[in-house]
């Protein structure tokens, strides 16, 4: 296969990864909106509809294996294609988190609302932005943008700690809120994990672009 075709296939791979990213981001958004606006049908839809994400993951993995099987990809191509496989796995797991959030939403929304849902909104926005930015960084080979994603992870962790503290206070003050507050704590954890996956993607991007391994730069914060 000529280099020309190979480049075309790489472009197609990147395009599919972006579509995968847009899909899981949309599902996270829908799960959080369903939780906050108390829409059981929207939550049901996310909880039930993981098939499209799963099929897309398998298709993208298959594209990667086919590209690896070609004669003579350069070392930089190998880094790019294996990074694409890892990013694909992280995106699929972001999709799993959307399902988890939707399932918790369905349990939480049968009870009266608790106030600190606002911080979750901010966390969700950040986690989605990190996912989007890390993928853009991959496609544009933009290590500066990827580095910016790593910094945002710390902000998500701070917001999560704040939500935890507020929700703990609620539970202590009124045991009647324990189940709901626990649900929201689990959602905060899900959002933290989405941000972790985006961080993994950003680290892969920096490795692809700079050939430098930045994993484990701030593990202790997890």
CB of 61 to its own copies, least distance (A): 8
The one segment of 2-10, 18-26, 116-124, 178-186 that binds its own copies by CB under 8 A: 178-186
Give the residue, chosen from 1, 144, 158, 168, that forms a contact with its own copies under the rule CB under 8 A: 168
Among 2, 75, 112, 115, binds its own copies (CB under 8 A): 75
In the chain, what is the straight-line distance between the N-terminal and C-terminal CA atoms, in Å?
44
**156 torsion bin: left (phi>0), alpha (psi -120 to 50), beta (else):** alpha
The CB-of-125 to its own copies minimum distance in angstroms stands at: 24
Does 112 interact with its own copies (rule: CB under 8 A)? no
Taking the least distance from each CB to its own copies, the nearer of 86 and 132 is: 86
Task: Give the total of residues touching its own copies (CB under 8 A).
Answer: 37
Alpha-carbon span 108 to 184, nearest angstrom: 8
Q: Give yes or no for a contact between 67 and 163, defined as CB atoms under 8 angstroms apart.
A: no
Of residues 9 through 48, those in contact with its own copies by CB under 8 A are: none
* Closer to its own copies by Cβ: residue 129 or 189: 189
Q: Which two tokens stand for residue 128?
A: 């989605």
Contacts of 101 (CB under 8 A, 6+ apart): 28, 31, 32, 35, 46, 187, 190, 191
- Whether residue 132 contacts residue 24, with contact meaning beta carbons closer than 8 Å, is answered with no
Per-residue interface string for the shown chain with its own copies, residues 120-159, x marking contact by CB under 8 A: ----------------------------------------
* Binder among 8, 144, 175, 210 for its own copies (CB under 8 A): 175
Q: How far apart are CA 161 and CA 185, in angstroms?
A: 10
Place of tokens 């290590």: 143
């Amino acid at each position: 296969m000529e280099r020309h075709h190979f480049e075309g296939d790489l472009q197609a791979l990147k395009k599919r990864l972006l579509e995968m990213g847009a899909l899981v981001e949309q599902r996270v958004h829908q799960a959080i909106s369903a939780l906050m606006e108390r829409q059981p049908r929207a939550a049901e839809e996310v909880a039930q509809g993981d098939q499209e994400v799963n099929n897309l993951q398998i298709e993208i993995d298959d594209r990667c294996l086919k590209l690896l099987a070609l004669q003579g990809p350069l070392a930089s191509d190998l880094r790019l294609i294996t990074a694409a496989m890892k990013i694909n796995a992280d995106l699929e797991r972001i999709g799993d988190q959307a399902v988890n959030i939707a399932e918790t939403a369905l349990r939480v929304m049968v009870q009266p609302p608790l106030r600190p849902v606002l911080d979750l909104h901010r966390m969700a926005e950040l986690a989605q932005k990190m996912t989007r930015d890390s993928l853009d960084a991959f496609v544009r080979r933009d290590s500066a943008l990827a580095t910016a994603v790593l910094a945002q992870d710390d902000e998500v962790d701070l917001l999560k700690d704040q939500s935890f503290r507020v929700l703990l206070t609620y539970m202590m003050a009124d045991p009647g809120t324990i189940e709901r507050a626990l649900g929201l704590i689990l959602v905060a954890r899900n959002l933290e994990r989405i941000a972790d996956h985006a961080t993994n993607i950003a680290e892969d991007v920096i490795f692809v672009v700079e050939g430098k391994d930045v994993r484990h730069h701030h593990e202790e914060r997890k």
